[in-house]
Structure 1
């Protein structure tokens, strides 16, 4: 059999499959052109989803691709930090006992007398260094962290950190969040997070509802691509099946990413305010203490300015740590001196791996007692879910297993995007009388075939969704404006 004869069934199969995909849209367009009233049916919902999935995929996929690649790089920052900064992050234990914090702090301050003492972080493990964090005005919101060997009180080095993150982790974090473009750059990641769940949900509906005979009624047809398919059908199978396998992960990343985005994050914060879902604040006011103005003090953890930290006695760190340990705060903790004489010390657990430890206590160093506390068990359910979601998004919740899972999801998303664009290219006309570089977009006018209940309920639902996710609402409106303008331009050309 010749190569031409072998290829013909494949081409006919792809052509038939393409026609079936475009049938709903073509009917809508032809009906509208003929001036007849469009037939409303639930098939119009599928046609609208096809069009939305196509255009959102074409225009949003580049943002998703960048987010996936930068997120993949950020996933393995713990290993990269060990590779780049291992000499300052880690030490040899050799069965020795740690030196008092006072000695370690004194050594750090002798090597770096600049700035004020902001906090001290105890080693996460027996082979890690103690972190003495200094607030240096010229560094802005960043800090200078001095790393000290807890067994010899020897200074191993210093790094410019941001909330405990190394320079490399900070750089990759900014790359993932805003491409180093500041607040304007954050729009890219919010566009990706806002549309990711729309693309995933729409793709699942299209794939699961696809008319594929007996194969559609089997789990194999949903979870595995058809190995006998060729051309665009093979690409579409890989695109869809990969999406099915990582759908839950993608929805998780979309939801958790939106919680700390700019605009959607503000909306989420308003929700937390309404339902009182924020994490409880630690009251650091010393009992009976008075402010300089004579009023009652009402300080909270996390609001310290460090004004009184410069005069903090290094020996007090050992006292405060002993009190915190006695009250159940084990593992890695962050000790923060009081902001003023009317405030207590703050000791906060910082262990994001499961099971997490986020207890906090306020300590009166003079009396050696706890004045207030917040426990992880007391967090509202929504605050717990938010905290756990963020740690899972960053790959910290389940250690290396969390990192591997995120890497698989990121690579899967990259493949989905590339296969999506390949499908667009494969569906291009290749006949001698009609050629094009890319496939034809789904036809316009699908909304005319939507059932009335869908229109009546859908318009307010989309408006509410646009309010909750402003970037999604604005970009969707931009799509609509562009679509209307394109239709008017085509109509003008046809009339001319």
Structure 2
């Protein structure tokens, strides 16, 4: 491919210098640099653990195969009440929170228990052969995840450090879109400035050194930019601080996931006292038949009444495409459907939020989704390492001893027009309020930068005396 004459490239650069891009580029460079150097380690950890999480589902199913499946498919399943009795006879501890009837002929019935001897947010799931009533075992589970997948899920979320560990993933998610967005703009500007905009997605051939590193860093980043933005947005929905703001916004805009009302018409004024478990679990077979007659399809999850005057909640939970989440409330005595919420009636943005989260978790499109997530994670790891390599090569090589590489120049706000500087500060402050860990870390970066600038200035003045 031929390149424009040098004088043409110089004209392009001179034109850019007089443009808004010339004013905004130093700020983008500064943000990209600080986030890349100080936040990229958190993003690197999130990428590595995310790749592991994306690859583990099939292994998780294989490890728990005995509990999840039966040895022989029988001709007729036992009533759900008998299966529940078998589960409670083997494991009388805790209380039943949900039941998942088999979604395939060779699957077991899963009875989830809330118990006190497991970590918070975890439970114990008892697996029952629906044909014989044999209890195939019990595992500590996290929602729908079996132990292996749950372990990698928590590794990705909080590094097994509890609430404190969640700060790492929130910091990574909050900064990821800033790093990716500023990097994309800088790469486009670089390609325009060098007359190679058509090679936005392709690394340069025949270049060496830092130019080669930059070429691969920018090209790989462009290929995964859309996935990074999706991961950043969905990651913040699970975070401790930004996630609370996301929930408030969704609630205010009626984008939240609707829930079926399980209050029975005859029990609207009933005293909401906890039920004895034998009373709560009655009507399980009636509720399952009523839901199936109402058109609900497997996989189905059932939730027994939690108080007097409540019905069974029976809900589809098909999280892969096409998703299904229809839910009904069933009177355990009569089998009447007392309330219904269909997935088709969800607010559009509630559907979009669910799809985004499913894609983030590698569920929405099955194995293809897992492969894409793993590939994006590997590419992100490469982009981060290339970025560090470029930064390291900026260091002076003629200076004796260990020297840290330099960053972009300071004073970038002074290069903006006053209203542009105010706009930049307000935008960063607003997002810092929405995502507090972003705001706090940005404030720390600025404080450190000011302190280093003052120290270097003082050293220069002392050396000039």
Instruction: Tell me, yes or no, whether TM beats 0.5.
Output: yes
Unaligned runs of 5+ in 2: 1-9
1:32-181 to 2 correspondence within 5 Å? 42-92=21-71, 94=73, 96-139=75-118, 141-181=121-161
Q: Deviation per CA, 1:164-217, whole angstroms, max 9, x where unpaired?
A: 322222221221111122211111101100110001111111111115667513
**SS of residue matched to 2:377:** helix
Partner of 2:434: 468
Structure 2: how far apart are the matches of 1:267 and 1:138? 32
> How far did 1:347 drift?
0.5
Partner of 1:376: 343
Tell me the C-alpha RMSD between the 2 structures: 2.4
Partner of 2:300: 333
Contact persistence 2:28–2:186 (CA under 8 A):
yes
The answer as to 2:395 corresponding to 1:451 is no
Partner of 2:276: 308
> How far did 1:409 drift?
0.7
> How far did 1:264 drift?
0.9
* The one of 229, 238, 246 aligned to 2:216: 238
TM-score between the two structures when normalised by the length of structure 1: 0.85
> How far did 1:313 drift?
5.0
**SS of residue matched to 1:176:** helix
1:336-351 to 2 correspondence within 5 Å? 336-351=303-318
> How far did 1:141 drift?
4.3
Partner of 2:5: none
Unaligned runs of 5+ in 1: 1-19, 29-38, 298-304
> How far did 1:239 drift?
0.9
1:96-495 to 2 correspondence within 5 Å? 96-139=75-118, 141-211=121-191, 215-218=195-198, 221-289=199-267, 291=269, 293=271, 307-313=275-281, 316-431=283-398, 437-495=403-461
Contact persistence 1:75–1:406 (CA under 8 A):
yes
Structure 2: how far apart are the matches of 1:93 and 1:353? 27
Q: Deviation per CA, 1:112-142, whole angstroms, max 9, x where unpaired?
A: 2223332211123333211012232344543
Structure 1: how far apart are the matches of 2:31 and 2:91? 58
Structure 2: how far apart are the matches of 1:332 and 1:92? 21
Contact persistence 1:344–1:362 (CA under 8 A):
yes
> How far did 1:327 drift?
0.6
TM-score between the two structures when normalised by the length of structure 2: 0.90
Of 245-254 and 109-118, the range deviating more from structure 2: 109-118
1:74 and 1:168, CA in 2 relative to 1: closer, same or farther beyond 3 A?
same
> How far did 1:476 drift?
1.0
